[in-house]
Structure 1
Amino acid sequence: MVGSVILVGAGPGDPGLLTLKGRRALEEAQVVVYDALVGAPILALMPEGAEKIDVGKRAARHTVPQEGINQILLDKALEGKRVVRLKGGDPFLFGRGGEELELLEERGVPFEVVPGVTSAIAVPAYGGIPVTHRDFTSSLHIITGHARDGKPLDIDFEALVRTGGTLVFLMGVTSLSAICAGLVAAGMDPDTPASIVEQGTTPMQRRVDATAATLAEKAAAERVGAPAISVFGSVCALGERFDWFDRLPLKGRRVVVTRPRERAGTLAGRLRDLGADVVEYPCIETVPIVPCPDMARAMERIGAYEWLALTSPAGVSALMDELDRQGKDARALGSVKLAAIGGGTAGELKAHGLRADYVPEVYDAEHLGAGLAERARGRVLILRAELGSPALTAALDGGKIPYDDVHTYRTVYENPRSGELRELLERGEDLLVTFTSASTVKGFVASVGEDFDFSGVTGACIGVQTAGEAGKHGIRTVVAERADMDALVETVMGLGAPPRPAGI
């Protein structure tokens, strides 16, 4: 059976600019063929079981020649696979998407195109430059600044200058001098505002402003490199006024998020929205214990318990999965009262139509146990991790409250990207890492290696127990005022962004 190919535009870099249709296609792919310009947060959406093929396509450096890429798409489709060709920007705007469809069309392979947000418009917008404005210009012209096979630029500069519109050049860093000289020689006013935006829509973005006559010289002085987009026209004068992206409070701050993969998205997304360069590095994985005879028996006699205590969203998921296996739903919980260790766990209960009867003011095992010891008169059922904190049961023992402590999942400390993280740390960068539990600290340390010097790492921690675990390994810590995501984000914001290079 013949498979299919979907050309997906990944957008210019910000993962939030990947379209919903593009994301769905990527998450359903069996094979992903991707370019170097596709950012890590988007690549992280690839299914774990998908075959991933890096064709390394970037400017004039192609790991795989175009003909080879075309053949890979055909071969994988003929294997019956659902193939996604993931391309930076938009597949049909200087993306050679049309070339990649020709062979597929000739061989009768079904294909589809999912357009992407083009960098030609998005990057100037993130730099505060509206490519059109009624007071300045009513036309936009997008030009490739890349000369094929080292040949001179084949651009009708006089025609472009006559339009009086905004000119956006893609892939033109190496040829910027020739572009500027060509425009001025064709009659463009040398004082026409011009800008170049490097690594647009990413936390590393920077904009350099100049004029048509001086942009190349200034970009060289600032060591601007690819990928970058240059813009010529009066609208560039608005860049400083409208540059919203550069004013984000965490712009340029690199933050490592260590939450489990299934829980990382919310925190990572919020930090990205504040301008942070987020590295998603899940250091722990929660693995359900299946089958779990103790939980099955507990669910069959749920009426014997006064309280059901849950210490994480993973415990809620395990509970609902067990009810489903027994052909039941939330109604089977009857009149049992629900206790949640914190807002995240309470939120997970609410997602299933359940409301927590008790959430401690301080989100940790000790305070959850103390609160239950004050409230419970009957038996308590605890559903939690295999190596849960003894502070919870110690508080119940102190209050002489009977309980059943059922382990519904285990925490696994491993990550196949440990070498990548250690390399990041070895660069000497002052790294900020978020820790949402002592387990994430243990997973982080185990992944990097116990022998590493962590004195250059700052840990933004939820709770004193988490901070205590981090401190054991020499990690500097700051502790959120409350043990929830809002407070953790506020803590990271309080650290601010790193200093910007002078003149940027």
Structure 2
Amino acid sequence: MNTGKVWLVGAGPGDVGLLTVKGMEILRQAEVVVYDSLVGQEILSRIPEQVRCINVGKRASHHTMPQEQINQVLVEEAKKGYRVVRLKGGDPFLFGRGGEELELLVKEGIPYEVVPGVTSPIAVPAYNGIPVTHRDFTSSVHIITGHKKQGAAYDIDFEALVRTKGTLVFLMGVSALSDICGSLLQAGMDKDMPAAILQKGTTAGQKRIVATISTLEEEVKRQGIETPAIIVVGRVCALSEEFAWHEKLPLSGYKVLVTRPRDLISSMAEKLRLMGAEVLELPAIRTEPVEENAQLLEVLEKLDTYQWTVFTSPTGVRVFFEKLQECHTDIRALAKLKIAAIGKGTTKALKERGIFADYMPEIFDGEALGRGLCELCEGTEKILLPRARMCNQEILTELSQKPGIQVDDIPIYDTFYETRDLIDRKKGFETGDIDCAVFTSASTVRGFREAAKGLDFTKVRAACIGRQTQAEADALGMETYRAREASIDSLLELVIELKGKTARK
């Protein structure tokens, strides 16, 4: 039997942009992913659909699975011949017990690789404007685990730490904050030494409390803090107000659920992330070309009999041109046709294939597209309409108003609902952890409904691309808002307005 292989991959502190290029490539090729609770939701939402995922928990004092059993799972899955990724928050070898997992792999003769990760004691302070070293303040940084067994004393030389005059970063120490601060003061640290506690760094839940080593515990009690969080002690903490940058981004602190099909999701998600949002990529639908499409094949043989080809989605463009290639037909077959596109996304998809649309309506929906075509047509035109099997009828209703127009409405792709459960959508909206959902079509709303059964949809703030999408969300009782025009850029502007609560319904 072929033995598989294990990759220990550091997932970083949460922001998917801090997952290394190598880590992402290995994740894409994985067959089994064994992940823990500190892996960011953004990263979990990027795990390929076909991958089998095993949640082993592991957060301070709360273990879904004991470490010994995790080690055994890695061996068992690899022995079945699978490509196994052990996905760990931060870096596998920095308090990640990666060494323990390797011991059993070595003993069992399982091949493995280690992919280091961006580690939270460096990245989280950076996202909060705290450089862990600075030539005017300190030339060393020291990373310490703040976790200790209940009732036991710290096995840490606090006096030695104080003598270093370096920046001290404590991981997993929130519950022991009082002991850590007290021990440093007892070891001779200046009571006015700046100190900070940094919550959920690099994610939408990021929060910073800066005080002194003698007042930090009191400030935490007053302002509140959630785990995971790290404690930073050192003069560099005083720079946070001056150097803070992440919170100045327009969507910092905002978590957005994106529901587009996976093949269309990345550009919008990337734009949201560049503006500071935490983005969960959870496609509500997927699209697949219609198999054995004899109707389309027949049409492709007589393209010269049409005057117009009308595209109503980027997916329709992609599938149509893929089918042209399969039939060994190039774009010269479209030379005598005029091309219409429903909006900017569809127009862009055509441009990428070397075609400029002859017509795009000012309002990007089926009704406006149909009405505009009626004005352009004399009444004897033949129109090819390649689109989804499940779609609205508004364009056909409008075209029927003009006698003499013949429309061949050809289904070229099917839409299916996605229901992957790595992220609990229901809990995310009901607790307010997810701030809004972005819907780019009525079908994504329907797919979301299926994926989030049992959710009180009145808890969902919905950013909708157009009128039909908003109507579908309204029917579920969502709090809906509509973009000024049916385009991705306008939808992004709407999300920014929602964060500032200035959007109009």
- The TM-score, its normalising length taken from structure 2, stands at 0.91
The answer to whether the Cα contact below 8 Å between 1:430 and 1:458 also exists between their aligned partners in 2 is no
1:427 Cα deviation after fit: 4.5
Amino acid at match of 2:283: P
1:197 Cα deviation after fit: 0.1
Q: Distance in 2 between matches of 1:429 and 1:56?
A: 19
Amino acid at match of 1:461: C
1:411 Cα deviation after fit: 2.5
Match of 1:502 in 2: none
Does residue 442 of the first structure (1) align with residue 446 of the second (2)? yes
The one of 476, 495, 501 equivalent to 1:492 is 495
Q: Distance in 2 between matches of 1:442 and 1:216?
A: 47
Q: Deviations over 1:453-495 (max 9, x none)?
A: 6444432222223223333343333221111011111112112
Does residue 410 of the first structure (1) align with residue 411 of the second (2)? no
Indicate how the Cα distance of structure 1 residues 330 and 139 shifts in structure 2: closer, same or farther if over 3 A, else same: farther
Q: Distance in 1 between matches of 2:422 and 2:187?
A: 54
Q: Between 290-299 and 342-351, report the one with greater CA deviation.
A: 342-351
Q: Distance in 1 between matches of 2:342 and 2:9?
A: 41
The one of 392, 395, 401 equivalent to 2:395 is 392
Q: Deviations over 1:244-285 (max 9, x none)?
A: 222333333343323223323333333333333444443333
Match of 2:26 in 1: 25
Q: Distance in 1 between matches of 2:450 and 2:222?
A: 43
The answer to whether the Cα contact below 8 Å between 1:30 and 1:81 also exists between their aligned partners in 2 is yes
Q: Between 314-323 and 375-384, report the one with greater CA deviation.
A: 375-384
Indicate how the Cα distance of structure 1 residues 307 and 244 shifts in structure 2: closer, same or farther if over 3 A, else same: same
1:137 Cα deviation after fit: 1.6
Find the residue that maps to 1:8 and give its secondary structure: strand
Match of 1:300 in 2: 301
Q: Deviations over 1:138-165 (max 9, x none)?
A: 2211111122576321112222212211
Does residue 351 of the first structure (1) align with residue 352 of the second (2)? yes
Amino acid at match of 2:469: T
Find the residue that maps to 1:196 and give its secondary structure: strand
The answer to whether the Cα contact below 8 Å between 1:132 and 1:138 also exists between their aligned partners in 2 is yes
Q: Between 122-131 and 36-45, report the one with greater CA deviation.
A: 36-45
Does residue 106 of the first structure (1) align with residue 107 of the second (2)? yes
Residues 244-255 of structure 1: matches in 2 within 5 Å?
244-255=245-256
Q: Between 15-24 and 158-167, report the one with greater CA deviation.
A: 158-167
Indicate how the Cα distance of structure 1 residues 428 and 196 shifts in structure 2: closer, same or farther if over 3 A, else same: closer
Match of 1:369 in 2: 370
Q: Distance in 1 between matches of 2:61 and 2:472?
A: 48
Q: Deviations over 1:42-79 (max 9, x none)?
A: 11222222221111111232222222211211121121
Q: Between 86-95 and 391-400, report the one with greater CA deviation.
A: 391-400
Amino acid at match of 1:382: L
Q: Distance in 2 between matches of 1:429 and 1:177?
A: 28
Q: Distance in 2 between matches of 1:283 and 1:50?
A: 17
Match of 2:45 in 1: 44
The answer to whether the Cα contact below 8 Å between 2:46 and 2:281 also exists between their aligned partners in 1 is no
Indicate how the Cα distance of structure 1 residues 112 and 148 shifts in structure 2: closer, same or farther if over 3 A, else same: farther
Find the residue that maps to 1:175 and give its secondary structure: helix
1:351 Cα deviation after fit: 3.1
Match of 2:386 in 1: 383
Q: Distance in 2 between matches of 1:176 and 1:427?
A: 27
Find the residue that maps to 1:398 and give its secondary structure: coil
The answer to whether the Cα contact below 8 Å between 1:252 and 1:497 also exists between their aligned partners in 2 is no
Match of 2:220 in 1: 219
Q: Distance in 1 between matches of 2:39 and 2:227?
A: 14
Indicate how the Cα distance of structure 1 residues 382 and 264 shifts in structure 2: closer, same or farther if over 3 A, else same: same
Q: Deviations over 1:370-407 (max 9, x none)?
A: 33333346422111111332221233333333221101
Amino acid at match of 2:413: Y
Q: Distance in 2 between matches of 1:56 and 1:36?
A: 5
Indicate how the Cα distance of structure 1 residues 118 and 329 shifts in structure 2: closer, same or farther if over 3 A, else same: farther
Q: Distance in 1 between matches of 2:40 and 2:501?
A: 22
Q: 5+ unaligned residues in a row in structure 2: which ranges?
A: none
1:360 Cα deviation after fit: 2.0
Match of 2:85 in 1: 84
Indicate how the Cα distance of structure 1 residues 479 and 308 shifts in structure 2: closer, same or farther if over 3 A, else same: same
Match of 2:483 in 1: 480
1:21 Cα deviation after fit: 1.0
Amino acid at match of 1:25: I
Match of 1:465 in 2: 468
Indicate how the Cα distance of structure 1 residues 28 and 358 shifts in structure 2: closer, same or farther if over 3 A, else same: same
The answer to whether the Cα contact below 8 Å between 2:419 and 2:450 also exists between their aligned partners in 1 is no
1:226 Cα deviation after fit: 2.2
Amino acid at match of 1:410: D
Q: Distance in 2 between matches of 1:61 and 1:455?
A: 32
Match of 2:200 in 1: 199
Q: Distance in 1 between matches of 2:418 and 2:78?
A: 33
Q: Distance in 2 between matches of 1:108 and 1:352?
A: 50
Find the residue that maps to 1:322 and give its secondary structure: helix
Find the residue that maps to 2:175 and give its secondary structure: coil
Match of 2:9 in 1: 8
Match of 1:324 in 2: 325
Indicate how the Cα distance of structure 1 residues 418 and 65 shifts in structure 2: closer, same or farther if over 3 A, else same: closer
1:447 Cα deviation after fit: 4.6
Find the residue that maps to 2:400 and give its secondary structure: helix
The answer to whether the Cα contact below 8 Å between 1:253 and 1:497 also exists between their aligned partners in 2 is no
Amino acid at match of 1:57: K
Q: Distance in 2 between matches of 1:422 and 1:86?
A: 24
Q: Distance in 2 between matches of 1:301 and 1:139?
A: 73
Amino acid at match of 2:346: T
Q: Deviations over 1:169-222 (max 9, x none)?
A: 111112222221222222221101110101111101100111112222322333
Does residue 138 of the first structure (1) align with residue 139 of the second (2)? yes
The one of 431, 436, 452 equivalent to 1:432 is 436
Q: Distance in 2 between matches of 1:452 and 1:175?
A: 37
Residues 128-167 of structure 1: matches in 2 within 5 Å?
128-147=129-148, 151-167=152-168
Amino acid at match of 2:112: F
- CA RMSD, 1 decimal: 2.5
1:414 Cα deviation after fit: 5.3
Q: Deviations over 1:307-357 (max 9, x none)?
A: 221111111121123123223444544443322211111222233343333
Residues 217-296 of structure 1: matches in 2 within 5 Å?
217-296=218-297
Find the residue that maps to 1:174 and give its secondary structure: helix
The answer to whether the Cα contact below 8 Å between 1:307 and 1:376 also exists between their aligned partners in 2 is no
Q: Deviations over 1:8-39 (max 9, x none)?
A: 11000111111111111011101111111112
Indicate how the Cα distance of structure 1 residues 112 and 248 shifts in structure 2: closer, same or farther if over 3 A, else same: same
Indicate how the Cα distance of structure 1 residues 141 and 423 shifts in structure 2: closer, same or farther if over 3 A, else same: closer
1:367 Cα deviation after fit: 1.8
Q: Distance in 2 between matches of 1:448 and 1:166?
A: 45
Q: Between 7-16 and 427-436, report the one with greater CA deviation.
A: 427-436
Alignment coverage as a number of residue pairs: 498
Indicate how the Cα distance of structure 1 residues 251 and 359 shifts in structure 2: closer, same or farther if over 3 A, else same: same
Find the residue that maps to 1:229 and give its secondary structure: strand
Q: 5+ unaligned residues in a row in structure 1: which ranges?
A: 500-504
